């Protein structure tokens, strides 16, 4: 019997909506691609996007940037991080997070995660106390939102400024509050593999007027910030406008136009991602050697990626990955000693110098498997992917048990 194979690429996104394409073509025809290159009476697409995203997010201020990583750097600087400032950060995240902290001169203080990929709040408290750090860059990695009440309580107790990395939680909520509205400032990415797709791009949102003004000037607004779409008053800019370095991270009209066309579909797409996520979770539930995390009822997640623990396959995860790859199922393993594709473990960020051992994080990542869930997959595709993984896990698990 030939084994069933999955044959769609895991990297394929949906088309940009037609009205986005039309708007982009219109901009190309006019040649005005820079956000400040507007005719009298014309409002920049970027400013319109900022106002629309602020309204979606429920935040007062919003800045569009060239990437999520740039949004993080700008947020850290605007929040007061300077060379030598300690910044707490959960150790399970993507490389742009430590990269952004490093670029501002900040010194990451890495915090352990728990078995469901959340920040380990006991370790956060211990590290906050021991390090005296006054900033926490919380990455909601792979969309797993930690206990935000506990985290906010720790931040209050130690006077820590919370910065949220919402690259995987755009559109998600925790106990009814939108991810990104817990901290002082939040960062989002609109890079191709995230929840809105402009190739590269990002947002910063905040309710803090001075932070917003510093961020806008820091993004490279020159003294043209007045045309932005979701900013505080001129009085606030007068106070801070000469204090921020211009870091040239402005979003352009073309990308703003294609994002504006996608934003109205975001919530509908969240529901579509979650149907696919549920098909994967149900298909893998109870599979031998595999643990699928229960999602808390109050976590309104976005299932744009799916994680499981190959707990019963410790030491043999690469064999599972290879067997699934041979059948067209692309699983990423977060436990590899050397960085692969998008994944990297904290101990490969060598530029950070000597880092403490994080045994719990290492143990969790040693069995962490991850798959992308692009919307070009149907729900049935996701059931098939789960069937193939289950099949290979059963085989491997039985072989291991027999040895
Ligand atoms: C993608 C990503 C970022 C940064 O996004 P870019 O737009 O690619 O710079 C930050 N954090 C996490 C967890 C991400 O996955």
Domains in the chain: how many in total? Answer: 2
**25 and 79 together in one domain:** yes
Q: Is the CB of 140 under 6 A from ligand 1?
A: no
Which atom of ligand 1 has the smallest separation from the CA of 142? 13
pLDDT at site 323: 97
Closest C-alpha to ligand 1, atom 2: 167
Q: Phi then psi for 23, rounded to 5 degrees?
A: -65, -40
Q: Is the CB of 67 under 6 A from ligand 1?
A: yes
**Which residues are CB-contacts of 231 (< 8 A; sequence separation ≥ 6)?**
61, 212, 213, 216, 225, 237
**364 and 313 together in one domain:** yes
**313 and 242 together in one domain:** no
Which atom of ligand 1 has the smallest separation from the CA of 201? 7
**30 and 107 together in one domain:** yes
Q: Is the CB of 68 under 6 A from ligand 1?
A: yes
Cα 387 to ligand 1 centroid, rounded to whole Å: 30
Q: What is the pLDDT along the chain (403 residues), one digit of tens a residue?
A: 689 999 999 999 999 999 999 999 999 999 999 999 999 999 999 999 999 999 999 999 999 999 999 999 999 999 999 999 999 999 999 999 999 999 999 999 999 999 999 999 999 999 999 999 999 999 999 999 999 999 999 999 999 999 999 999 999 999 999 999 999 999 999 999 999 999 999 999 999 999 999 999 999 999 999 999 999 999 999 999 999 999 999 999 999 999 999 999 999 999 999 999 999 999 999 999 999 999 999 999 999 999 999 998 888 999 999 999 999 999 999 888 887 777 778 888 989 988 889 999 999 999 999 999 999 999 999 999 999 999 999 999 888 878 7
CA–CA separation, 120 and 150 (whole Å)? 10
How far, in Å, are 244, 340, 346 from residue 104 at the CA level? 13, 25, 18
How many CA atoms, within 13 angstroms, populate the side-chain half-sphere of residue 167?
Answer: 24
Would you say residue 8 lies in a domain? no
b/e per residue 119-152 (b: at least 16 CB within 10 A): bbbebbbebbeeeebbbbbbbbbbbbbbbbeebe
Would you say residue 190 lies in a domain? yes
Cα 8 to ligand 1 centroid, rounded to whole Å: 24
Which atom of ligand 1 has the smallest separation from the CA of 193? 1
Among residues 249, 264, 279, the one where a domain terminates is 264
Q: Is the CB of 65 under 6 A from ligand 1?
A: no
Which among 258, 101, 105, 283 is positioned nearest to 192, based on CA atoms? 258
DSSP string, 82-113: -TT-EEEEESSS-THHHHHHHHTT-EEEEE-B
Would you say residue 2 lies in a domain? no
Kind of pairing, strands 305-309 and 368-372? antiparallel
Among residues 264, 288, 305, the one where a domain terminates is 264
Category of 360 on φ-ψ map: left (φ > 0), alpha (ψ -120 to 50) or beta: alpha
**68 and 90 together in one domain:** yes
Cα 238 to ligand 1 centroid, rounded to whole Å: 32
Q: Is the CB of 168 under 6 A from ligand 1?
A: yes
Mutate to test the pocket of ligand 1, among 165, 179, 339, 342 (most ligand atoms within 8 A of CB): 165
pLDDT at site 355: 87
**183 and 291 together in one domain:** no
Would you say residue 371 lies in a domain? yes
**376 and 247 together in one domain:** no
Among residues 264, 284, 301, the one where a domain terminates is 264
Would you say residue 258 lies in a domain? yes
**229 and 282 together in one domain:** no
**251 and 272 together in one domain:** no
Q: Is the CB of 189 under 6 A from ligand 1?
A: yes
Q: Is the CB of 305 under 6 A from ligand 1?
A: no
Q: Is the CB of 249 under 6 A from ligand 1?
A: no
Which atom of ligand 1 has the smallest separation from the CA of 140? 13
Would you say residue 3 lies in a domain? no
CATH assignment of the domain containing 127: 3.40.640.10
Mutate to test the pocket of ligand 1, among 63, 66, 69 (most ligand atoms within 8 A of CB): 69
pLDDT at site 354: 86
Q: Is the CB of 141 under 6 A from ligand 1?
A: yes
Q: Is the CB of 94 under 6 A from ligand 1?
A: yes
pLDDT at site 340: 77
Query: What is the residue range of 318's domain?
Result: 266-402
Which among 186, 198, 190, 251 is positioned nearest to 220, based on CA atoms? 251
Cα 99 to ligand 1 centroid, rounded to whole Å: 10
Cα 67 to ligand 1 centroid, rounded to whole Å: 8
CATH assignment of the domain containing 290: 3.90.1150.10
Q: Is the CB of 89 under 6 A from ligand 1?
A: no
**271 and 251 together in one domain:** no
Q: How far apart are the first and last CA of the chain?
A: 25
Would you say residue 226 lies in a domain? yes
Which atom of ligand 1 has the smallest separation from the CA of 70? 9
List pLDDT tens digits, range 106-137: 999 999 999 999 999 999 999 999 999 999 99
**45 and 23 together in one domain:** yes
pLDDT at site 1: 66
**272 and 260 together in one domain:** no
Cα 149 to ligand 1 centroid, rounded to whole Å: 24
Q: Is the CB of 283 under 6 A from ligand 1?
A: no
Would you say residue 25 lies in a domain? yes
pLDDT at site 336: 83
Which atom of ligand 1 has the smallest separation from the CA of 139? 13
């Amino acid at each position: 019997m030939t084994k069933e194979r999955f044959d769609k690429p895991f990297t394929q996104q949906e088309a940009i909506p037609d009205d986005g394409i039309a708007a982009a073509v219109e901009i190309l025809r006019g040649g005005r691609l820079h956000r400040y290159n507007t005719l009298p009476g014309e409002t920049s697409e970027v400013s319109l996007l900022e106002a629309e995203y602020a309204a979606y997010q429920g935040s007062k201020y919003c800045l569009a940037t060239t990437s999520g990583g740039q949004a993080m750097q700008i947020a850290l600087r605007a929040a007061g991080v300077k060379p030598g400032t300690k910044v707490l950060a959960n150790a399970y995240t993507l490389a742009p997070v430590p990269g952004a902290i490093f670029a501002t001169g900040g010194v990451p203080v890495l915090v352990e995660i728990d078995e469901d990929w959340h920040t380990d709040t006991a370790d956060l408290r211990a590290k906050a106390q021991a390090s005296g750090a006054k900033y926490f860059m919380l990455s909601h990695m792979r969309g797993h939102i930690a206990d935000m009440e506990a985290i906010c309580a720790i931040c209050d107790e130690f006077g820590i400024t919370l910065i949220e990395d919402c690259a995987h939680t755009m559109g998600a909520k925790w106990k009814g509050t939108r991810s990104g509205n817990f901290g002082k400032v939040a960062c989002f990415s609109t890079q191709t593999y995230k929840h809105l797709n402009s190739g590269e791009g990002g947002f910063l949102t905040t309710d803090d007027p001075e932070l917003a003004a510093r961020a806008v000037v820091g993004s490279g607004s020159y003294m043209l910030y007045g045309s932005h779409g979701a900013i505080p008053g001129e009085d606030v800019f007068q106070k801070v406008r000469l204090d921020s370095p211009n870091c040239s991270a402005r979003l352009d009209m073309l990308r703003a136009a294609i994002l504006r066309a996608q934003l109205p579909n975001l919530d509908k797409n969240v529901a579509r991602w979650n149907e696919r996520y549920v098909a994967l979770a149900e298909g893998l539930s109870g599979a031998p050697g595999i643990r699928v995390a229960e999602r808390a009822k109050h976590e309104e997640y976005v299932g744009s990626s799916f994680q499981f623990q190959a707990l019963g396959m410790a030491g043999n995860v690469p064999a599972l990955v290879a067997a699934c790859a041979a059948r067209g199922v692309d699983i990423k393993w977060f436990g590899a000693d050397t960085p692969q594709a998008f994944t990297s473990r904290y101990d490969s960020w060598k530029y950070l110098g000597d880092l403490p051992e994080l045994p719990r994080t290492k143990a969790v990542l040693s069995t962490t498997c991850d798959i992308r869930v692009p919307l070009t997959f149907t729900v049935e595709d996701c059931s098939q992917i789960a069937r193939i993984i289950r099949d290979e896990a059963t085989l491997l698990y039985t072989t291991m048990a027999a040895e």
